[in-house]
Amino acid sequence: MQGLLERFLRYVTIHTQSDDCTRLTPSTAGQLEFATILVDELKSMGLMDAHVDSNGYVMATIPANTDVKVPVIGFIAHLDTSPDFNGLHVKPRVVSAYDGSEIILNKSKDIILKTTDFPEVLNYIGQDIIVTDGTTLLGADDKAGVAEIMTAADYLIKNPDIKHGTIRICFTPDEEIGEGANHFDVTQFGADFAYTMDGSEIGELEYENFNAAGAKITVCGRSVHPGYAKGKMLNSLLVAHELMALFPSDETPTHTDRLDGFFHLLSFHGDVEKSELEYIIRDFDRDKFESRKALLAQLVNTINQKYGANTVVLELKDQYFNMREKIEPVMQIIDLAKQAMEQVGVKPIIKPIRGGTDGARLSFMGLPCPNIFAGGHNFHGRYEFVPLQSMQKAVEVIVKIAQLNLQNNL
C-alpha cells in the first residue's frame, strides 16, 4: 500500500488538465510529460514494450506466465484531469485514521469538508483519506486509476507465482473533454475485452452510461446606442436568457438522479452584440436522448421565428452512446469483475454511470469495456477525496480478475 500511496501522491502533482480549445492530441503538454514518466516506470518494471505514441497513448504488455490460452484482458485509465476546476499546483494531504470529524482543508481560506455536506466521508472512519488544500481538485479522476493499474502491474511482475494470461495496459489522453478514444487503436491494443479503472466509490461496476451530446449556441444581437435604441437594438444577452427560460426547469443536474436525463448549461458569456452558450445533453434512453436533441432544435427555431432567421445558431454534436447494448452480449466480463470483487471482500455496486467514460466509446469501437471503481468521491472540485484503502482494493480487484480469467478457463 505504501508504493500505491507514493505513486498517487507523485502523480497528482503533475499538471495534466485537458483543454478542448487547443485542437491538439494530447490537448496539453503536461499529459505527454506524464505519459513519458509512466513509460519509464513501466520499463523499469521490465515491460520493455512500453511506449507512448505521438498522440499521448501509453501502451504496454504484461506477458502471460502460463501456456493456457485465455482471453487477453486490458486495463485502461486516463492521463488528464478535468478542466472544470483549478488543477494547477495540487497539494495532496493524507488524513490518517480519519476520526469522523469535519476535515479542515484550508484554515486560512475557511475551506472545510463538512460531514453535513458530504456524509459519504463517514463511511471511511478509521481509514486514510487523501484530500487537497481546498484550492484545487485532487485528480483522483483518474490518477487513482493510473496508480492502481501501475501498482497491480508491479505486483504481478514481482509475484510470478500468480498465474495469468496476457494483460494489456493503456493510459489515454483527453478523456475529460470527450476525446480519449479518438485515436485509440483497438487492433494494436489487442485485448478481447477491457476495464476502465475510472469509477467512483469502492464497489462500483458499471456497464450502462448516458447517451451524450454537446451543443454550442451562438446568439447574434445588434448593438445601437442605448439612447436611440428603440426598435433597433437586439440585446443578445436578453435573447439568450429568453431561450434558457424555455428549457424544462426541472431537467437539470440539480433536479435529477438515477436514470433521469438532463440539459446542463456549462457556460454563458457575451455582450449586446453576441452571446455564446454551451450545453450538454444526457439521457440513458436512446429515444429520450433523440427527443431531447429535437426539443433543443425546436426551442432555437422558436426564438428564430420571433427575432429572425439565424438570430440563434445551433451546433449539435453527439459525443458517445450508452455502452449497455455492447456489453449485454458479453455479460461474462461483468460476471468476472463481480466475482473478483466478491473474492477480495468488496461488495459490487452495479449501477449506471451518470457521466461518461472512455469505455463507452471503446465498446462501440469493438472493445467491450465496462467501468470499475477507482475509489474517489466529489470529482472535479475542491472537496474531492479518495480513501487509500479503496485504492488498495482496486489493485486487488485487478490482480484477482487476472487470476480468475485463467482459472475460469482451465
179 is catalytic: no
Last residue of a domain, one of 320, 348, 367: 320
- Examine the domain organization and report whether 169 and 224 are in the same domain: no
- Examine the domain organization and report whether 176 and 64 are in the same domain: yes
- Examine the domain organization and report whether 202 and 215 are in the same domain: no
In angstroms, the CA 358 to CA 102 distance is 34
Last residue of a domain, one of 320, 339, 358: 320
- Examine the domain organization and report whether 346 and 293 are in the same domain: no
Q: At residue 114, does pLDDT exceed 80?
A: yes
175 is catalytic: yes
Q: At residue 354, does pLDDT exceed 90?
A: no
Which band of pLDDT confidence, cut at 50, 70 and 90, is reported for residue 355? confident
Q: At residue 2, does pLDDT exceed 90?
A: no
Which band of pLDDT confidence, cut at 50, 70 and 90, is reported for residue 380? very high
pLDDT tens, position by position, 22-43: 999 999 999 999 999 999 999 9
Q: CA angle 139-145-151, nearest 5°?
A: 120
Q: At residue 356, does pLDDT exceed 80?
A: no
The answer to whether the beta carbons of residues 92 and 138 sit under 8 Å apart is yes
- Examine the domain organization and report whether 116 and 184 are in the same domain: yes
**Residue 367 amino acid letter:** L
- Examine the domain organization and report whether 64 and 140 are in the same domain: yes
In angstroms, the CA 300 to CA 297 distance is 5
Q: Name the strands in the sheet holding 129-131, side by side, starting at the edge strand that comes first in the sequence.
A: 93-95, 129-131, 386-387
- Examine the domain organization and report whether 51 and 124 are in the same domain: yes
The mean per-residue pLDDT over the stretch 89-105 comes to 98
pLDDT score for 371: 95
Residue range(s) defining the domain that contains residue 306:
211-320
pLDDT tens, position by position, 120-175: 999 999 999 999 999 999 999 999 999 999 999 999 999 999 999 999 999 999 99
- Examine the domain organization and report whether 334 and 289 are in the same domain: no
- Examine the domain organization and report whether 45 and 68 are in the same domain: yes
Task: Give the CATH number, domain containing residue 7.
Answer: 3.40.630.10
- Examine the domain organization and report whether 244 and 223 are in the same domain: yes
pLDDT score for 320: 87
pLDDT score for 309: 94
The mean per-residue pLDDT over the stretch 195-210 comes to 95
- Examine the domain organization and report whether 256 and 155 are in the same domain: no
Give the list of residues 6+ apart from residue 234 with CB closer than 8 angstroms, or none: 221, 222, 307, 311
The chain-wide mean pLDDT, for the chain, equals 96
- Examine the domain organization and report whether 145 and 244 are in the same domain: no
Exactly one of 80, 206, 358, 396 is catalytic; name it: 80
Which band of pLDDT confidence, cut at 50, 70 and 90, is reported for residue 16? very high
Phi, psi of 286 (to 5 degrees): -65, -40
Task: Give the CATH number, domain containing residue 234.
Answer: 3.30.70.360
What own/partner pairs with CB < 8 Å and gap ≥ 24 does 295-302 have? 296/215, 296/263, 299/243, 299/246, 299/247, 300/217, 300/243, 302/246
Which band of pLDDT confidence, cut at 50, 70 and 90, is reported for residue 297? very high
Q: At residue 402, does pLDDT exceed 90?
A: yes
Domains identified in the chain, total number: 2
pLDDT score for 410: 78
- Cα 343 off chain centre by: 26
Exactly one of 141, 142, 175, 204 is catalytic; name it: 175
Which band of pLDDT confidence, cut at 50, 70 and 90, is reported for residue 270? very high
Last residue of a domain, one of 279, 299, 320: 320
Q: At residue 49, does pLDDT exceed 90?
A: yes
pLDDT score for 178: 84
Q: At residue 358, does pLDDT exceed 90?
A: no
